Amino acid sequence: MRDVLSPGADPAILAPPAPAPAVPKIRMRGVRKAFGPKQVLDGVDLDVAAGHSVVILGGSGSGKSVTIKCILGLIQPDEGVIEVDGRDVLHMSRREREALGDRIGMLFQNGALFDSLPVWENVCFKLLAQKRITRARARDKAAEVLAQVGLAGSVGDLSPAELSGGMQKRVALARAIAAQPDIIFFDEPTTGLDPIMGAVIDGLIVDCVKRLGATAVSITHDMASARRIGDTAAMLHKGHIVWNGPAAALGHTGNALVDQFANGEREGPIQMELRK
């Protein structure tokens, strides 16, 4: 399914024919979601081109995680359209959904590691579930992926509860990328890491996109990181995407909202609801 062209743009008249607009990898239109009386998403429109990396910005509690969970099908939106590869994910059969899920990776904001399993089994969980690897091979594979996120292979034998917060984050990251997914969601990949490790992880994410050709959607509060990992950035505010543009421009976009957010200024159009 192609994007519907505007009525004026009849391809037959255009000469030479413009290249057909590529189907975005992910397309959201008018996605709304409320929890009780609270309208968290109020018509989110977002396009993510294949092989691109998009960073979603927004204040705490603005609905960034909810947006991602809607695309993943973990939260059912009240209204709207979500398409992946041009196919409506909200009305898919369970089998199609599972097939799609096989190609998607997700890093949860809090890691969400399985604490009943050792680290190596966490990392290779998806590969084992899809029977792409034997249990005997999984330890070595886990050590390989753990090395990419800067962890020693011996970490594989620990339980997640024995790791520091930053280490847990990196194990979760390793788990998200181990199966080499097509589409990867990172919910605050570098929060809780030291600056150098943060830069390493940013590099890893860029690598996933550039080398593996994956499409990435990341949430971050760190502007330096956003500029490093994002091709484009989108700002979520009051339930809408209020700005969408190149990530490199963050901080001097000309949009007062985004600039205030990116530069972390107290004064501006965004008023924190603090009691004076």
Ligand X SMILES: Nc1ncnc2c1ncn2[C@@H]1O[C@H](COP(=O)(O)OP(=O)(O)OP(=O)(O)O)[C@@H](O)[C@H]1O
Residues that bind another protein (CB under 8 A): 69, 72-74, 98, 101-102, 104-106, 108-110, 112-116, 125-126, 129-130, 175, 179
Query: Which CB atom, from 88 or from 115, has the smaller least distance to another protein?
Result: 115
Burial class (CB in 10 A: 0-12, 13-18, 19+), 173: buried
Q: Can you tell me the distance from the alpha carbon of 97 to that of 88, in angstroms, rounded to the nearest whole number?
A: 10
Tokens 């011996």 sit on residue: 154
Burial class (CB in 10 A: 0-12, 13-18, 19+), 206: middle
35 touching ligand X, by CB under 6 A: yes
Shortest distance in whole angstroms from residue 65 CB to ligand X: 3
Shortest distance in whole angstroms from residue 66 CB to ligand X: 4
210-214 long-range contacts, Cβ below 8 Å, gap at least 24? 212/180, 213/51, 214/51, 214/180, 214/181, 214/182, 214/183, 214/184
Per partner kind, with CB cut-offs from 5 to 8 A, the member of another protein, ligand X, Mg ion, none near residue 110 is: another protein
172 touching ligand X, by CB under 6 A: no
**Which one of residues 27, 52, 64, 227 is an interface residue with ligand X (CB under 6 A)?**
64
Per partner kind, with CB cut-offs from 5 to 8 A, the member of ligand X, Mg ion, another protein, none near residue 243 is: none
**Which one of residues 24, 58, 77, 105 is an interface residue with ligand X (CB under 6 A)?**
58
Neighbour count for residue 198 (Cβ, 10 Å): 20
Shortest distance in whole angstroms from residue 131 CB to Mg ion: 32
Q: Can you tell me the distance from the alpha carbon of 141 to that of 26, in angstroms, rounded to the nearest whole number?
A: 30
**Which one of residues 65, 67, 168, 218 is an interface residue with Mg ion (CB under 5 A)?**
65
62 touching ligand X, by CB under 6 A: yes
Q: Are 225 and 202 in contact (CB under 8 A)?
A: yes
Query: Which CB atom, from 56 or from 171, has the smaller least distance to Mg ion?
Result: 56
Residues in 106-165 that interact with ligand X by CB under 6 A = 109
Backbone angles phi, psi at 9, to 5 degrees: -95, 60
Query: Which CB atom, from 106 or from 133, has the smaller least distance to ligand X?
Result: 106
60 touching ligand X, by CB under 6 A: yes
Map residue 187 onto helix, strand or coil: strand
Q: Can you tell me the distance from the alpha carbon of 5 to that of 20, in angstroms, rounded to the nearest whole number?
A: 10
241 touching ligand X, by CB under 6 A: no
Q: Could you list the residues that contact Mg ion (CB under 5 A)?
A: 65, 109
